[in-house]
Structure 1
Amino acid sequence: MKPSSPLFPADHFTALADIARTLGHAHRLALLEHIAQEERSVEQLAQLSGVSVANASQHLQQLKRAGIVQTRRDGKRVLYSLGAGPVTPLLEALRGFLAFQHAEIREVALDSLSRRERLEGISIEELLMQMQSQSVVLLDVRPEDEFASGHLPGALNIPAQALQQRLAELPKGKHVVAYCRGPYCVLSTDAINTLHAHGLPARRLRAGFDDWKAAGLSVEQPPARLEK
């Protein structure tokens, strides 16, 4: 019996392993997350990521050699942005898998009723209808820097870890719809649990900001900063 031919040549998996090795460092992933928000200089990226400029520069050069980031010169500054390939979906896939793992671990500790409550949520279509009637308040529970880079129209930003202390900021008499990055993001789940514990009506958006944006729906962003 003849051995079956391989689905992919050996060098295919070698190339995949090279990409995985390039991404396999916490500092590089942190740098990529900040670059995904907006184009930034190495000095900005070093400060945001909590590493030295020299260290950030070394990691960025490795990402650049792999085509994961690219650069352009703006006067004396070199600005980094994501590469031309599908880098954003790759980052989303990594975030989604991590969030899925966390969600799976947490679900083991929940009874069936709590589990249903977590998994059920409002769809984008339902949310659009409720937004027209102005019967809901959108609660973005992502960190402030992510909210500032883009959010659902009219959303209020209260990061999940601060919600307990800032419940009074929520408008009275409105149903809350909380959202974060995507369907497996546990931040919105934490927010719903907090709101329910205080007797507040709330549901989570089954999708998240990334899915909303990918659907081509309206996104609010801060005005562009003017360079002095």
Structure 2
Amino acid sequence: MSISEIHSRGVRVSDLADLAKTLGNSHRLLLLEHIAEGEKTVEALSDLAGLSVANASQHLQQLKRSGFVQSRREGKNVLYRLGLGPIAALLAALRACAEHNHAEIRALIADSLWQQDKLEAISREELLQRMQETEIVLLDVRSEAEYAAGHLPGAINIPLEALEQRLAEVPRDQEVVAYCRGNYCALSSKAVSILRALGRNARQLQGGI
């Protein structure tokens, strides 16, 4: 989008700068990441972020004024959730940019992309078709919190670090399709490598959730 297009839509560069300023704080970004996993109370967020309740509340109010979060009262508790608009997409874009700029992550991404054909990634369209034709195990290898906040219907959740210990929970006679966060997440490709090394029929969902 050009500068003229931004102005024509009523969005000034200073407005963008104000939003960036709000996000330019590690505590607020961390709080926003936790809220993206699901609605939480101020107390829960302060514990997760390692902040006092008063300090967390101040940061949450700044996020609320900028429209990044919304709040509601439930009894004595105040709960926060993501605001309207593409907040989750913005967080994902920031995360992707940070990962891209990190040398080790860039190398990991390059290796994952190089192995994509080897791992025989399955597209969303093909997955939907295959699920109508045969039984497939959808394996979500993200954290339990991310799974609880939202997952593909019918998927089982086994975080990558627990996969080998909980392998018995994965049906042996069915094809496994593992997925994680997105293009820049390597959890599912690692899960496929582990499953194949243990003799399981596994593929990776292209693009993640």
TM-score computed with the length of structure 1 as normaliser: 0.76
Give the number of aligned pairs: 201
Q: Which residue of 1 aligns with 2:95?
A: 95
Relative to structure 2, which stretch is displaced further, 11-20 or 33-42?
11-20
SS of the counterpart of 1:79?
A: strand
Q: Is the 8 A contact 1:103 1:186 kept in 2?
A: no
% of aligned pairs identical? 54
Q: Which residue of 1 aligns with 2:18?
A: 18
Q: Which residue of 2 aligns with 1:152?
A: 152
Over the aligned positions, Cα root-mean-square deviation in angstroms equals 2.6
1:103: Cα distance to partner? 5.3
SS of the counterpart of 1:129?
A: helix
| Cα distance in 2 between the residues matched to 1:34 and 1:187 | 19
Aligned match for 1:106, one of 105, 108, 117: 108
Q: Is the 8 A contact 1:42 1:53 kept in 2?
A: yes
CA shift in 2, pair 1:122/1:55, >3 Å: same
Q: Which residue of 2 aligns with 1:75?
A: 75
Counterpart check, 1:164 vs 2:175: no
Q: Is the 8 A contact 2:139 2:156 kept in 1?
A: yes
Letter in structure 2 aligned against 1:66:
S
1:42: Cα distance to partner? 0.5
Q: Which residue of 1 aligns with 2:64?
A: 64
Relative to structure 2, which stretch is displaced further, 177-186 or 97-106?
97-106
CA shift in 2, pair 1:19/1:77, >3 Å: same
Q: Is the 8 A contact 2:109 2:184 kept in 1?
A: no
Q: Is the 8 A contact 1:140 1:180 kept in 2?
A: yes
Relative to structure 2, which stretch is displaced further, 121-130 or 68-77?
68-77
Q: Which residue of 2 aligns with 1:223?
A: none
Letter in structure 1 aligned against 2:161:
Q
1:144: Cα distance to partner? 0.4
CA shift in 2, pair 1:169/1:121, >3 Å: same
SS of the counterpart of 1:45?
A: helix
Unaligned runs of at least 5 residues, structure 1: 1-5, 210-228
| Cα distance in 2 between the residues matched to 1:96 and 1:107 | 11
SS of the counterpart of 2:132?
A: helix
Letter in structure 1 aligned against 2:118:
E
TM-score computed with the length of structure 2 as normaliser: 0.82
| Cα distance in 2 between the residues matched to 1:94 and 1:82 | 16
